[in-house]
Amino acid sequence: MMTRNFTLLTDLYELTMMQGYYKSGNDETVIFDVFYRDNPSGSGYAIACGLELVIDYIKNLSFSYEDIDYLRSLDIFDEDFLEYLAGYHFTGDIYAIPEGTVVFPMEPLLKVIAPMMEAQLIETAILNIINHQSLIATKASRVVYAAGGSGVMEFGLRRAQGADAGTYGARAAVIGGCDGTSNVLAGKMFDLPVLGTHAHSWIMSFPDEYTAFKTYASLYPDACMLLVDTYDTLKSGVPNAIRVFKELRDEGLHPRKIGIRLDSGDLAYLSKKARAMLDDAGFPEAIISASSDLDENLIQSLKLQGAPITSWGVGTKLITSSDCPAFGGVYKLAAAKHQGEKDFTAKIKISENPAKVTNPGNKTVYRIYDKTTGKIRADLICLTDEVYSSKEDLVIFDPIATWKKSTIIDGTYILRELLVPVFLKGQCVYENPSAMEIRDYCTGELNTLWDETRRLVNPQNVYVDLSKPLYDLKNQLLSQKA
């Protein structure tokens, strides 16, 4: 991927707070958690995504001479603070849940342990990166699930909110399960499969539709996918496509892939008619691809109607996550300690809205799998000094409806700690897999979900419980603040 310096990709108040900490001599080491409160798009889960860019951001975090000159021009920063920024580099620790992992509300996706000024600066950029890419990866996984095994291509670049959203969104979409992208820059940067056919303008630039199809087939005989709805899909487009396919066959050519693409009209009706025409002409192997403002709900509806579509090009509603355009991740202080202190003091944010009350302390997350099925039983947020073993019974309970308890018998479950070290003392200790490797990992992760959690409407929520020590700590802090 291309290395870029995002040091000034931050909100102004991060820098003004930093100057305040600097002037007051703040020597605290703090813990910040990145988490979200609600699954996007009515989903039963989300997909963690964006860690690779976070790593690149932290590695290249430094203020250039031009950055310092610009900040000086704002007339709100003192020279001694600007001198500090000129020598700034990240020295803390970062732990994260690996990209492609299925995640749930309230659990830390990423944890920063660093001096207060360092931790404060990186809040905005981390949220920008994690929120966007996790949103698109989650949306893509829903679209792919609705497609039910037929291929999904990401086609959204021209409708994305800017070049970065289109490019990093394409990466996230492939991680979420798409087969490839139309975005050539994303293909180059992240080694993704690039896919595409031709536009209506190609057809319209020729004297007639047949000539346009024939010319395209002569250029790309091995993969001949023809857009058939420029003039009249069933009276012109499909018959002309069949004519070209027959000519390829008569010439002794055996393309690896032939097919048609539908981009308008009643996709269920047209695809059924086109399928019959292709089959009658001796091309049962021909692909029928569809585009035209698709999302997971429309794809599911078309499949229920028996539309014989075997490939889906999904653009606008995927790359913008149009039904839920924001992920809602937050970055909250969880603990702090002054220089020379051994232990962190837990911090809690209290709100009139119970959902916005944070979980305090230095935490980690354990995933509990059913040993027989490999499916997720629950997630457990706990303090880092707690020790668990699958050789012992494990009692978990709902942190809101505490009477809802479950005892998981020893030997019937597997434990996995989700947070892994990414930076230690400012040095990266994590090697990010390729996007396609993360895609394969994500596929495996999604298979650990029960079908009830993957359904598109009214999914069953996975239990995310607090350990008893963390629950007690939270209630203790709430009582002290009362």
pLDDT digits (tens, 9 = 90+) for 72-84: 999 999 999 999 9
CA torsion sign for 151, 155, 161, 167 is positive
List the structure tokens of 139. 């949306």
Give the per-residue pLDDT at 256.
Answer: 85
Q: pLDDT tens digits for the chain (482 residues)?
A: 556 789 999 999 999 999 999 999 999 999 999 999 999 999 999 999 999 999 999 999 999 999 999 999 999 999 999 999 999 999 999 999 999 999 999 999 999 999 999 999 999 999 999 999 999 999 999 999 999 999 999 999 999 999 999 999 999 999 999 999 999 999 999 999 999 989 999 999 999 999 999 999 999 999 999 999 999 999 999 999 999 999 999 998 888 899 999 999 999 999 999 999 999 999 999 999 999 899 999 999 999 999 999 999 999 999 999 999 999 999 999 999 999 899 999 999 998 888 889 999 999 999 999 999 999 999 999 999 999 999 999 999 988 888 989 999 999 999 999 999 999 999 999 999 999 999 999 999 999 999 999 999 999 999 999 999 999 999 999 998 75
Give the per-residue pLDDT at 354.
Answer: 85
> What is the SS3 assignment for 371?
coil
> What is the SS3 assignment for 264?
coil
Q: How many CB atoms lie within 10 A of CB 186?
A: 26
List the structure tokens of 293. 């403002």
Report all structural domains of the chain as residue ranges with CATH numbers, in order of start.
12-136+325-481 (3.20.140.10), 137-319 (3.20.20.70)
Please state, in angstroms and rounded to a whole number, the distance separating the CA atoms of residues 167 and 173. Answer: 10
Please state, in angstroms and rounded to a whole number, the distance separating the CA atoms of residues 93 and 82. Answer: 24
- Tell me the three-class secondary structure of 304-356, residue by residue: HCCCCCCEEEECHHHHCCCCCCCCCCEEEEEEEECCCCCCCEECCCCCCCHHH
List the structure tokens of 414. 């597997």
Closest CA to 378 of 329, 449, 324, 325: 449
Give the per-residue pLDDT at 351.
Answer: 87
CB 91 within 8 A of CB 425: yes
* Full-model pTM: 0.96
Q: How many CB atoms lie within 10 A of CB 41?
A: 17
Q: What does DSSP say about strands 223-227 and 257-262: parallel, antiparallel, or unpaired?
A: parallel
Q: Which amino acid belongs to residue 379?
A: D
Please state, in angstroms and rounded to a whole number, the distance separating the CA atoms of residues 245 and 214. Answer: 9
Give the per-residue pLDDT at 338.
Answer: 94
Give the per-residue pLDDT at 355.
Answer: 84
If you count DSSP H runs as helices and E runs as strands, how many of each does the chain have, helices first?
17, 21
> What is the SS3 assignment for 202?
helix
CB 265 within 8 A of CB 229: yes
Give the per-residue pLDDT at 254.
Answer: 81
Region class of 443: left (phi > 0), else alpha (psi between -120 and 50), else beta: alpha
DSSP per-residue string spanning 388-452 = --TTS-EEEE-SSSTT-EEEEPTTSEEEEE--EEEEETTEE---PPPHHHHHHHHHHHHTTS-HH
Please state, in angstroms and rounded to a whole number, the distance separating the CA atoms of residues 134 and 125. Answer: 14
Please state, in angstroms and rounded to a whole number, the distance separating the CA atoms of residues 123 and 121. Answer: 6
CB 54 within 8 A of CB 128: no
Give the per-residue pLDDT at 3.
Answer: 65
Give the per-residue pLDDT at 140.
Answer: 98
Please state, in angstroms and rounded to a whole number, the distance separating the CA atoms of residues 176 and 183. Answer: 16
Beta bridge partners of 223: 257
Model confidence pLDDT, tens digit, residues 223-238? 999 999 999 999 999 9
